[in-house]
Structures are given as structure tokens and as C-alpha cells.
Amino acid sequence: MKIALDPYMLRRTPLLELPGIVAELGYEYIELSPREDFLPFFLHPRADRDTVAAFRSALDAAGVKLASVLPLYRWAGPDEEERQAAVRYWKRAIEIAVELGCNVMNSEFNGRPEQASRSEAMFWRSMEELLPVFEREGVELRLEPHPDDFVEDGKTAVDMVRGINSPLVSFLYCAPHTFHQGGNMTEIMEYAGGLLTHLHVADSFDHRASSGLRYIVNPPGSTARVHQHLNIGQGEVDWDEFFRTLGRLRFDGIMTACVFAWEDKARESNLFMLQEMTKRTASW
């Protein structure tokens, strides 16, 4: 199993200094999430060949490896022109992952829940174009449902992954999205079975509690989705059950710390998460 860090709270760190800082924190692996100077959210990658080569050298010098590359594009958005652009962005991102020597990428379905059927149609159209690229390059893809996406339920997401019908495509369980996925964490992970290859680890409160009044969002009836990415133990995810289930399933994939809530104390948070994940998986 690989324990990785999503360094989003460190995104203002110069790119070539990032591997050294991650190594100082004790992590051996990075899950490279969007950065404005490399793979921005929803836009074409900014990195050229020289930047990619320099970053790979910095990783090697720090003794840190890329566990995965995480791009986010609107490849299932209801607008066809935007979808076509997202496919182009994906193709360049795949090239970059290959240039970095990384054969794993993870992302979201990224459509719109109010246009779910159209978003799903767009997703399959994009997969028809991109799956041959993933297969040609030997790059694995791990997909997760996300709050405010056309796929939010965990078991539905597993079924979507099964429908892709490729040994290179599998399922990512994101713990801070537990209460948007249905709240049935163990059931989802067991349902995924061997398709469960990737985890995002952070805590969150159950927005459904207190008769739906845990969070009060104005105006009433807002469709906003609210969740957090907190340190383990700061929310309501059942971590004993989480790690017990993974141990029973003999999980052996990528486990990524993805806390976003504490930029003012990012070092302390990232150190704590590594300690907790290492301790709780030591007996597997």
C-alpha cells in the first residue's frame, strides 16, 4: 500500500521545492492535485516539456514518487464545446503523467446533477475518446463520485465504473464525501470489492444530522452541498469502521491524505495525518 499526500494546502510552494517539503514531512508519495502553474482546475495544462522534466528531477532528488496525478476537467459537462475542450485537456494531462513516469490518474465524473442524464451521455462520449488513450499509454484511471456531480451515490459510482468495463479503470472512495455518497461506507467499499483501489482520507461532519439543520444555508432550499476535509477525528466519519473494513478487504492501493481545512497549520496537519494512517494500518 502507498500512503500519499495531496499537497493542495502547500500549493503556494514553488513547484520545484514541493518534493523536498513533502519528503521532510515523511511522505514517500505525492498525489499531484491541481496547481495554477501546472495542471489548473478546468483549464489546459500549463506545464511544458522543460517544466515536467525539472519537476521529475526534483522528485528524484528528494526521493519522492508520484502515486497519482489528479486533473479536474468538465468532461461530462452538459455543454458540448466545453466537453470537447476537456477531452483535449485530458489528453495533454495524460501525456504529462507519462512524462513524469506516473501510471495512475484519478478524477471525478464532473457533470451536473440537475442534468444527470445529459451529463452521463457526455461522460460516455468522452470515455469513448479517452479510454483508448489510457489503454495505449498503460495509465490507470480511478474515479470518485463527488458532491454536486451527476453521480453522487457511492454504489451508483461503482456501477458506472463496472460499466466502463476496463481493467484500467477502478473506484476511489473519498471518506470526507461519506455522507453525500449515502452514508453507508462499509456497504459501498464491500460492494466495490476489487474495484476499490484508491482512498482519500479526511474527516467531515454529517450534514444530514439534526433534521437536516446541521448546516443552515440561506436562502432556504439552496442546492449547495456542504462538506469538509478535516483531520481524522475532527468530524463524524467512523474511522474504526473505516480501517477495520479496509483491513478485512486486504486493501493494497493508494491511501491519500487530503485535508484542506488548515492551511494556517498545514505542516502540523499533514504530519498528524501520516502518523494516524501509518498507525491504523500497521497491523494489516
- Write out pLDDT tens, residues 70-89: 999 999 999 999 999 999 99
Residue corresponding to grid cell 453525500? 180
> Which residues of the chain fall below pLDDT 50?
none
The phi, psi pair for 136, rounded to 5°, reads: -65, -40
Give pLDDT, residue 208.
82
SS3 176: helix
What span, in angstroms and rounded, lies between the C-alpha atoms of 183 and 177?
9
pTM of the model: 0.95
Helix (H, G, I), strand (E, B) or coil at 50: helix
Q: Which residues pair with 200 in a beta bridge?
A: 174, 256
Q: According to the model, what pLDDT value does residue 212 have?
A: 77
Q: What is the pLDDT of residue 133?
A: 98
Are 62 and 26 in contact, with CB atoms under 8 Å apart?
no
Pairing of strands 2-5, 29-32: parallel
Which structural domains are found in the chain, ordered by start?
A: 2-281 (3.20.20.150)
pLDDT tens per residue across span 144-176: 999 999 999 999 999 999 999 999 999 999 999
CA distances to 64, 101, 112, 277, 278 from 21, rounded to whole Å, are 10, 20, 36, 19, 19
Q: How far is it, in rounded angstroms, from Cα 61 to Cα 72?
A: 28
pLDDT at 135: 97
Q: Please tell me the predicted confidence (pLDDT) of residue 226.
A: 81
